[in-house]
Structure 1
């Protein structure tokens, strides 16, 4: 299948074809004694992921584990559907996200408020998973991949309070979810993901420092793909966070409303990203994907929410 890329170490990248597009959201299959799917993609992507697993020899009773880095719908929206396709699989998520997979009503209600009519097209509906099948991870935990291989879980909030990074003991691959931002392999662009309501700058920077301390060999982005330059990329992720926060703080201090703050930050950061830098030469489809996954309105709104919350605390 053209949406499967072998990455070595019995790891396979699966393009989930989010909303029908290529290169937006990746899931990863770790084959072995206890096959494990990292990230399901959206509900509408679930059949695509199932077909990919089938082509890799994973049948309905073979998948041992499904683990998500966090419960945002582009990462975990397909959990309920995948759980139905693979009745023997245990569903693994950080403890702060577990109840939302068992009862997604509140999560879906919030998503409806944010996305409106776009919700069904982009994400579909997260179906509930039986609570008895859900394993809630502690802040530091481990998932058995069989044969002595493990996926260690490391609590890494900042982007979301239910976020974990996952380190493969066999390959040194670190599944970074959204904690290190959004990466475009075609252009090499890296942009932060700072949506409301959970973004916190220092917590996010601490998570990046934690990732560095784990000594991974490669970063596997959910958006999108493998990046071997670990130290440089994590440093760049931290720099991007600081740039966006500094610009948003300036706009907020000047009393700009959200629309004007977004316009200012978007303009001031445009030259940082090859996909956006030249309007006439930019790949408009790539640019649209970038904006969908790390939209300036969402990023700025998340930072403003954090600024106002921390101002109140002070």
Structure 2
């Protein structure tokens, strides 16, 4: 079965099959005059992405641009591999992430501390990209897609300080990365993504307000897929963030440890997510817990609360 799905407007969703899982991480090819890959996924996903681009008629010399919303390994871990496979492509990233793509040693060392033996099967190794091929964008930026079509980047920290959203001038698609959380297509759930060390509630909410103001026609989630209900989904994302942070703040004020804070969040959000409900497919919940674990989210919120305290 092909892992490529046409979404209209010369946009193609590519299931990057992170760690072999289907429907958990999406990259997107904009097949414009200057083809652009948004979110290449992990290093382990690079051969999968390459096969998809070949299926779509994009050869080694054809890919003009690779853009990442941020440098977390499920989004950008394959940048070095893809850069080698497509030697004419320019790599676009926020300025706060650029040096880590050129020299990933510090990022990989940190990832090994967090993931240990799981690092290799989940993500693989982020390989360095020639700094001369990296273009850093700041508060806003522009990617030429050819024929007058452009991707406009908008700095959207809160999930990560190096996060950008990307708005397609032709389709109105907004590539939201993780700034609007995790979308589970099977159940239409929206869950926060609040990992350490960068999560900050006020900053994340400001980024969602910025996304609302862009008046996009559709949201394209890296996890996972297209969503037409733009305003409602962004509002739900903000609501979920507030609920999780309130629950963790209450647990922290009671002196509870991480495990008890996780339990407090799970109790507070009981019934909010069909994917985690009593009638849910346990494999679905397991898959998303691996991607977006409650313990990691709660740890990120605690880190943020401690920083502000």
TM-score bracket relative to the smaller structure: over 0.9
1:48-88: CA deviations, max 9, x gaps? 00000000000000000000000000000000000000000
Q: Which moved more, 1:218-227 or 1:107-116?
A: 107-116
Shift of 1:267: 2.6
Q: Is the 8 A contact 1:39 1:76 kept in 2?
A: yes
Q: Is the 8 A contact 1:182 1:293 kept in 2?
A: no
Shift of 1:272: 0.6
CA distance in 1, matches of 2:200, 2:297: 12
1:244-297: CA deviations, max 9, x gaps? 00000000000001111112212321311001111xx32111101221222110
Helix, strand or coil at the partner of 2:242? helix
Shift of 1:242: 0.2
Give the equivalent residue in structure 2 for 1:295. 293
Give the equivalent residue in structure 2 for 1:32. 32
Give the equivalent residue in structure 2 for 1:142. 142
Helix, strand or coil at the partner of 1:244? helix
CA distance in 2, matches of 1:95, 1:63: 22
1:175-198: CA deviations, max 9, x gaps? 000000000000111100000000
Pairing of 1:153-232 with structure 2 (within 5 A): 153-232=153-232
CA distance in 2, matches of 1:294, 1:269: 15
Determine whether 1:256 maps to 2:268.
no
CA distance in 2, matches of 1:98, 1:305: 24
Q: Is the 8 A contact 1:69 1:166 kept in 2?
A: yes
1:184-243: CA deviations, max 9, x gaps? 000111100000000000000000000000010000000000000001000000000000
Pairing of 1:1-314 with structure 2 (within 5 A): 2-278=2-278, 281-311=279-309
Structure 1 unmatched ranges of 5 or more: none
TM superposition score normalised by structure 2: 0.99
Shift of 1:39: 0.2
Q: Which moved more, 1:256-265 or 1:90-99?
A: 256-265
Helix, strand or coil at the partner of 2:271? helix
1:135-162: CA deviations, max 9, x gaps? 0011111100000000000000000000
Helix, strand or coil at the partner of 1:234? helix
1:4-38: CA deviations, max 9, x gaps? 00000000000001100100100000011100000
Helix, strand or coil at the partner of 1:144? strand
CA RMSD of aligned residues (A): 0.7
Q: Is the 8 A contact 1:9 1:171 kept in 2?
A: yes
CA distance in 1, matches of 2:188, 2:85: 35
Helix, strand or coil at the partner of 1:40? coil
CA distance in 2, matches of 1:294, 1:252: 21
**Where in structure 1 do 4 or more consecutive aligned residues deviate above 2 Å?**
none
